[in-house]
């Protein structure tokens, strides 16, 4: 299961710093999905409304509805537990550098997750 992951030392930092990258990711996806807006296909039902669906997703909804894993290490462990309770034994595959994120921030997410969160789920 592909999940966006952004981890920072504090919740406030994580939520604030992640915003421009997630918004860029959503904007980019929505732009690509415009290609579907006047097309229809029986084998790709609902894709015609993909752009609209994406335009309705705000950063606040991403946070409120746990559509991505964003927070400090404790938040992230809780969100991952929620994902597992909701979807079962998933194999998360993390997008760590979405929205043209600088490498240092992506690396920090990787490191914080590996050090503080991964051991609880092994």
Partner 1 sequence: MKFGIDYFPDAQPDRVSARQYFDDVLDLAERADDLGYDSVEIVEHYFTSYGGYCPDPSVFLAACSQRTRRLRLVTGAVLPVFNHPLKLAGQLTMLDAISGGRLDVGIARAFMPYEFDAFGVCRVLHVDGRARLQHDGRPLPRRASRAGGEAPALSPGLP
Q: Which residues bind partner 1 (CB under 8 A)?
A: 2, 24-25, 28-29, 31-32, 35-36, 38-44, 47, 84, 89, 91-100, 103, 106-107, 110-111, 113-115, 118, 121-122
Cβ-based nearer residue to partner 1, 12 or 107: 107
CB 121 within 8 A of CB 69: no
Alpha carbon 22 to chain centroid, angstroms = 7
Q: At closest approach, how far in Å is the CB of 82 from partner 1?
A: 14
User: Are the CB atoms for 99 and 8 separated by under 8 Å?
Assistant: no
Instruction: Name the minimum Å distance from CB 105 to partner 1.
Output: 11
Nearer to partner 1 by C-beta: 12 or 34? 34
Cβ-based nearer residue to partner 1, 64 or 91 = 91
């Amino acid at each position: 299961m592909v999940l966006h992951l952004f981890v920072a030392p504090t919740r406030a930092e994580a939520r604030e710093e992640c915003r421009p990258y997630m918004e860029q990711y959503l904007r980019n996806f929505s732009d690509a999905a415009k290609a579907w807006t006047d097309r229809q296909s029986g084998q790709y039902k609902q894709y015609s409304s993909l752009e609209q669906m994406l335009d309705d997703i705000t950063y606040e909804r991403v946070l409120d509805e746990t559509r991505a894993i964003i927070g400090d290490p404790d938040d992230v462990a809780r969100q991952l537990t929620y994902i597992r309770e909701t979807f079962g034994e998933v194999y998360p595959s993390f997008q760590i550098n979405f929205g043209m994120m600088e490498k240092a921030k992506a690396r920090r997410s990787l490191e914080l997750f590996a050090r503080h969160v991964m051991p609880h789920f092994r």
